[in-house]
Amino acid sequence: MRTLQAHLILPPDTNHHGTIFGGKVLAYIDEIAAITSMKHAGGNTVTVSIDSVDFLSSAHVGDILELESMVVYTGKTSITVFVRVTAFHVETGESTLTTESFVTMVAVDENGKPRPVSQVVIETEEQRRLFEQVKLNRALKYMKNK
């Protein structure tokens, strides 16, 4: 399940260097992860964990921020979404990878209680790699919280 979004970066989205606020990127990431997980769950989901966010390079006012997301892991009620963010530079036609993030969402019923989801279908080598990465991170998180 993939979702694509694009946003033009405007002056109110940026700091005094003219680069986008990290919090703005996080809000976009949370939104696209929610949409992607809702499509997978066929209903409402809530964010339970922003597992990781790596800001790799900055995006500037006038760039087009492009977000791509996909479901990479499912548990019984949880759905982990990978989000990749790139900045498209209009003048050069080039794209730069700016951010990568994993977000875990939980499918909820009308009372806000977790409800089961269907399992993710792995179709590509990239999905397989990301699936294994989430599996390992979950195991490490579980060990730390024990």
Interface residue list for ligand COA (CB under 6 A): 46-49, 75-78, 104, 106, 108, 112, 114
140 exposure class (CB count in 10 Å sphere: 0-12, 13-18, 19+) = exposed
Q: Write down the least CB distance from residue 87 to ligand COA, Å.
A: 26
Residue with tokens 């066929």: 42
Nearest to 36 by CA among 73, 88, 10: 73
Q: Write down the least CB distance from residue 61 to ligand COA, Å.
A: 28
Q: Write down the least CB distance from residue 137 to ligand COA, Å.
A: 10
By beta-carbon proximity to ligand COA, the closer residue of 51 and 100 is 51
Q: Write down the least CB distance from residue 17 to ligand COA, Å.
A: 28
By beta-carbon proximity to ligand COA, the closer residue of 30 and 100 is 30
Residue with tokens 């760039």: 63
The sign of the CA dihedral 120, 122, 126, 131 is positive
CB-CB contact of 89 with 95 (8 Å): yes
By beta-carbon proximity to ligand COA, the closer residue of 9 and 34 is 34
